[in-house]
Structure 1
Amino acid sequence: MESCGMNVIKYILFIFNLVFAISGIGIIAAGALVLCDVGEFSHFLEGRIMAPPIVLIVAGSIVFIIAFLGCYGAIKEHYNMLIAFAAALLIIFVIELAVGIAAAVFKNDFSMAMKDTLKESMKNYTEADRLAWDNVQKKLECCGVDGPEDWTPAKGFTVASFPTSCCADMQAICQIGSTSLYREGCFSKLEMRVRKGATILIGVGIGIAFVEIAGIVLACCLATAVKRESDK
């Protein structure tokens, strides 16, 4: 097959797939980055909040694998493999689109669910909850759900002593009036952390979506040209 136009498409698709394989690694890295960033606070986050970065890591792994499928199909001008490659890209695109829509629709529900989890954890306050609260309060420099007042007698705690993680100076007694007492609640800071991660995922997802559409079009064009040549 020596058609100049087809050769151009073939090599464009081959180069595209090399770039696509690298983008798969980028997707995995972005998902892992977000998962590491919010994963340490998983005690307060529902599974559905943790799902998008995990889905992105899985999608990135699949993208990396099928990129080689596209490379082989393009160089060998293999019709069935090109169609399989285009179909795989389409499936990944639909999955990413579905995850994005779900995240947008349930965005407010995620926030409310996270706040309820924080309050429930404070109410139970088991050893696991204590460790999780100490971790989030130290890392995010916050105190309570909405503020230090959440650790007062009205909530079932002693006003004289906040958890030491509520204060920057953990050697001193942490109480009302302490200059090192964190004034901001953990909910707003944790929500900001989750939203920042979501923004990264959305940006990566949109960028990859355009790449996938381009791949589908190129693969279909080359597959059509291969089919036309084989029918002559």
Structure 2
Amino acid sequence: MESCGMNAIKYVLFVFNLVFAISGIGIIAAGACVLADVGEFTHFVEGRIMAPPIVLIIAGAIVFVIAFLGCYGAIKEHYNMLIAFAAALLIIFVIELAVGIAAAVFKNDFSMVMKDTLKESIKNYTEADRLAWDNVQKKLQCCGVDGPNDWGPANGFTSSFPSSCCMDMQVICQIGSTSVYQEGCFNKLEMRVHKGATVLIGVGIGIAFVEIAGIILACCLAAAIKRETDPK
């Protein structure tokens, strides 16, 4: 009965690791999507906001490799390899849990810092700032930090906005023009980062708790192997 139970655990663990390998690809894809979505606005977004998706991509790659370690250990009934697999899973679990928590924390505290960065960028408005603003305003269809008024005399600008503030970039983008985007870029950037953080929280924490099942299965199989190989 014990041997039959061990075989059952072995094949369940093997199938689990095949699914786990696929989930590693999913983790990489999720991290890459968030990085691509928010990464193009790095001029205004803090570096620490970029850290969680990068860590998740690395963790996904490690998960993919570790899954094959688990498959091999299960089929070969290799005790030490199974213990190493369980330990590696535990480390990845802690990393992904930390990523999920970090994303949740950053989701709540980054807003004021990003708004200050946007406002400071308008006041300085170097060539790099101009390119960054044109990029964000065209892609997110917004204008200024909180609205078009940010490009007014209070910040040293004349009666016209950057052309990227207008739906039709071929015309002069002036105050009173009906083609000027009315929504500020801060709200749209905030929504982008919040959406990315939500994805990271869901993937990071969701996959992390699934890994607990892998740790338990690996430990059960390792214990069964040890019982059968140890002298009575």
Both structures adopt the same fold (TM-score exceeding 0.5): yes
Aligned positions of 1:58-207 closer than 5 A: 58-158=58-158, 160-207=159-206
User: Helix, strand or coil for the counterpart of 1:3?
Assistant: helix
Q: Does 1:45 align with 2:45?
A: yes
- The residue number in structure 1 matching 2:25 is 25
Q: Which amino acid aligns with 1:138?
A: K
Aligned-pair CA distance for 1:119: 1.3
Aligned-pair CA distance for 1:200: 1.4
2: distance between equivalents of 1:136 and 1:199?
Answer: 21
User: Helix, strand or coil for the counterpart of 2:110?
Assistant: helix
Aligned-pair CA distance for 1:214: 0.6
TM-score, normalised relative to structure 1? 0.96
User: Helix, strand or coil for the counterpart of 2:172?
Assistant: coil
Q: Which amino acid aligns with 1:69?
A: L
1: distance between equivalents of 2:191 and 2:105?
Answer: 18
Structure 1: where are the runs of 5+ without partners?
A: none
Q: Which amino acid aligns with 1:11?
A: Y
Q: Does 1:34 align with 2:61?
A: no
User: Helix, strand or coil for the counterpart of 1:172?
Assistant: coil
Question: Deviation digits for residues 10-53 of structure 1, max 9, x if unmatched?
Answer: 00000100100000001101111111111111111111111111
Q: Which amino acid aligns with 1:118?
A: L
Aligned-pair CA distance for 1:78: 0.8
Q: Which amino acid aligns with 1:155?
A: N
Question: Deviation digits for residues 136-184 of structure 1, max 9, x if unmatched?
Answer: 00000000001111111111211x1100000001111111110100011
User: Helix, strand or coil for the counterpart of 2:43?
Assistant: helix
Q: Which amino acid aligns with 1:73?
A: G
1: distance between equivalents of 2:106 and 2:30?
Answer: 22
Q: Which amino acid aligns with 2:160?
A: S
Superposition RMSD in Å: 1.3
Aligned length: 231
Structure 2: where are the runs of 5+ without partners?
A: none
2: distance between equivalents of 1:181 and 1:199?
Answer: 31
Q: Which amino acid aligns with 2:20?
A: F
- The residue number in structure 1 matching 2:223 is 224
Between 1:92-101 and 1:210-219, the stretch displaced more is 92-101
1: distance between equivalents of 2:176 and 2:115?
Answer: 26
